[in-house]
Structure 1
Amino acid sequence: MTRFGYTLMTEQSGPKELVGYAADAERVGFDLLVSSDHYSPWLAAQGHASYAWSVLGAVAHATERVELMTYVTCPTVRYHPAVVAQKAATLALLSDGRFTLGLGSGENLNEHVVGHGWPAVDARQDMLVEAVEIIRALHTGEMTTYDGEYFRVDSARVWDVPEDGVPLAAAVAGPKGISRFAPLVDHLVATEPREDLVRTWDEVRTDASLPSGAGTRKIGQIPICWGPDAEEATALAHEQFRWFAGGWAVNSDLPTTAGFAGATQFVRPEDVAETVPCGPDLDAVVEAVRPFWEAGFTDVALVQVGDARQQEFLDGPAADLLERLRAAAPSTPGGTSDR
């Protein structure tokens, strides 16, 4: 069946709160927890940006069953891929194999802070390819030397590594990204419920004689803003999540919260409400999520926007929402529910 996740938004809650939310999300019945990995929030009103890897380490010990994932980590500028390989392996061991390393080409917002500039998109993709190759090599537990165009690894070994390595997922947005990364990683990450992404992903992996179809996960994400009052929830979504309206082509290049504020100054609350279901109507959330499983996604992570009603959401409607989602979703992603 389609699996449903809860998002640990490091931009909108403090680290201790996130660990508590993670434990409650497992208790409620979510199947996976995905965590953002940012140095900065998109908007100053969000007010947080804790270190995802410390949070996830604590979450690994605060939970027992739920799967964990970064959604997503950029292993190219702020982090060297050899360091990402080490911390991913450690987290996989701490969580008893519940961790998937989600990877992406990053955002200027988070990566510019180390003073190495922000490469053009083609270079970022090339850097990510090298990073994946390095991480894969180090996850064998063998001594590794790598001499690429962008990265060098000199006689490195990850000493504590899971026997079968760590599953890798990559964020892609079109056929070019799929052609590059489908043969290199295990699973697809995308935030748009597009059937063409799923179909092309499976075709590329089939051509490469790699597991496809049910053998590889397609992991999506959607923001919601549950609250007892629809108008209040819409206002909160606008305050906290209007950056979402800019689209990836814009968002990936903006360097500061001031830039996001400027780029979204004309986004209205009603514009946000067109893409983010706001208010108490759980059936509206189900209908917003439906395009993902209809497109063939195996996993969908929900973002409950804002910290203000996060605990209330988990203690109240979250369990009912999960029940409704599972009743509506087909037993095979991309199929039709017979319930």
Structure 2
Amino acid sequence: MKLGFFLSSEEHGPRDLIRNAHMADEHGFEALWISDHYHPWNDEQGQSPFVWGTIGALSERVSLPITTAVTCPTVRIHPAVIAQAAATAAVQCEGRFVLGVGSGEALNEHVLGTHWPSADVRLEMLEEAIGLIRTLHEGVEVTHHGKHYTVENARIYTLPERPVPIYVSAFGPKAVRLAARSGDGYICVGPAKDLVRQYRSAGGRGPAQSGLKVCYAESEEDAVATAHRLWPNDGLPGELAQVLPTPRHFEQASSLVTPDMIRESIPCGPDPEPYAEKIKEFAEAGFDEVYVQQIGPSQREFFEFWAKEVVPLIDV
């Protein structure tokens, strides 16, 4: 199983993201995820740089493969523009780029005042957007008058040697079936064994990626406090993450998430065993790639801890 590092655009500015990616490369991580947001989930996280500028800088600093986790190509940015951005990123990364896409969250997508559609409509829009991106990546002139998108006389001239792979994020049965029929791979978060099984049974043959949040610190209590301060939203249930419109609303909802809830869901502290056990859980769930995100400012300390103490315990 491939182990990658998750660059959190919600917590770190562009220059820090580049430094973190370089440290990930130095400490044995094999690939990168990078989040694509307009807002952080809450004000405490405090950042949200434009991902396409960061990817350009990453391409000059590291040679690791990069996946957006994930881009919404449906509301805030038209899929024809995402198609151009992804093609340029793939050229900059010399083919080591994957466009991860999903149906998005109101938090990021409603900022232009556009109506936030229902889940079924968002999936319909996503599937049309994926088809349009693929057609534009063929390098032909495209005129498209679809249900949700219009393109006239559009052609992308700067293209990689091979079409950009598109992986689809999905957390429910309808979305998983869409990922299986429309994507080159599958993305989710957590060791969701049932979702991987659904993806495979629906015909999905591409790699299955997932993400894992951790928080290394010198004590478990310090790590839990840091994770709870920065990522209480990780404990929110159901569809709240898709429909809440502002960081303020996430802060209000996250007041229901306790430190003990974070302790149960996120490996925290200086003991390497819970980290290794969690990686094993992802492997047993059928994932091909797992991307680890260190919460908080202790990035260099995390990388040294991971390389020296966690990696020797991982056997997957």
TM-score above 0.5, yes or no: yes
Taking the aligned partners of 1:321 and 1:222, their CA distance within structure 2 comes to 17
2:277 paired residue among 287, 292, 295? 287
Calculate percent identity across the aligned residue pairs.
38
Residue matched to 2:246: 256
Residue matched to 2:288: 298
1:189 paired residue among 187, 190, 198? 187
Residue 143 of structure 1 pairs with residue 141 of structure 2: yes
Distance 1:16 1:70, change over 3 A: same
Residue 275 of structure 1 pairs with residue 265 of structure 2: yes
Residue matched to 1:328: 315
Deviates more, 1:266-275 or 1:293-302: 266-275
Quick check: 2:95–2:161 contact (8 Å CA) kept in 1?
no
How far apart are residue 288 of structure 1 and its match? 1.8
How far apart are residue 192 of structure 1 and its match? 3.0
Q: Tell me the matched-pair count.
A: 316
SS at match of 1:226: coil
Quick check: 1:4–1:322 contact (8 Å CA) kept in 2?
no
Deviations 1:110-132 (A, max 9, x none): 11111112111111111101100
Residue matched to 2:298: 309
Residue 134 of structure 1 pairs with residue 124 of structure 2: no
Residue 26 of structure 1 pairs with residue 16 of structure 2: no
Distance 1:77 1:10, change over 3 A: same
Quick check: 1:29–1:322 contact (8 Å CA) kept in 2?
no
Residue matched to 2:173: 175
Quick check: 1:30–1:322 contact (8 Å CA) kept in 2?
no
2:153 paired residue among 144, 155, 161? 155
Residue 243 of structure 1 pairs with residue 242 of structure 2: no
How far apart are residue 290 of structure 1 and its match? 1.9
Deviations 1:190-239 (A, max 9, x none): 11322222222222227xxxxx2xxx200000100011111111100000
Taking the aligned partners of 1:68 and 1:86, their CA distance within structure 2 comes to 16
Quick check: 2:4–2:291 contact (8 Å CA) kept in 1?
yes
2:207 paired residue among 197, 202, 217? 217
Residue matched to 2:220: 230
How far apart are residue 256 of structure 1 and its match? 0.8
Taking the aligned partners of 2:15 and 2:309, their CA distance within structure 1 comes to 25
Deviates more, 1:174-183 or 1:55-64: 174-183
Quick check: 1:129–1:181 contact (8 Å CA) kept in 2?
no
How far apart are residue 265 of structure 1 and its match? 0.8
Which letter maps to 2:163? G
Taking the aligned partners of 1:272 and 1:196, their CA distance within structure 2 comes to 23
Residue 55 of structure 1 pairs with residue 54 of structure 2: yes
SS at match of 1:180: helix
SS at match of 1:278: coil
Quick check: 2:276–2:311 contact (8 Å CA) kept in 1?
no
Residue matched to 1:336: none
Structure 2: gaps of 5 or more residues: none
What is the root-mean-square deviation in Å for CA atoms of aligned residues? 1.3
SS at match of 1:303: strand
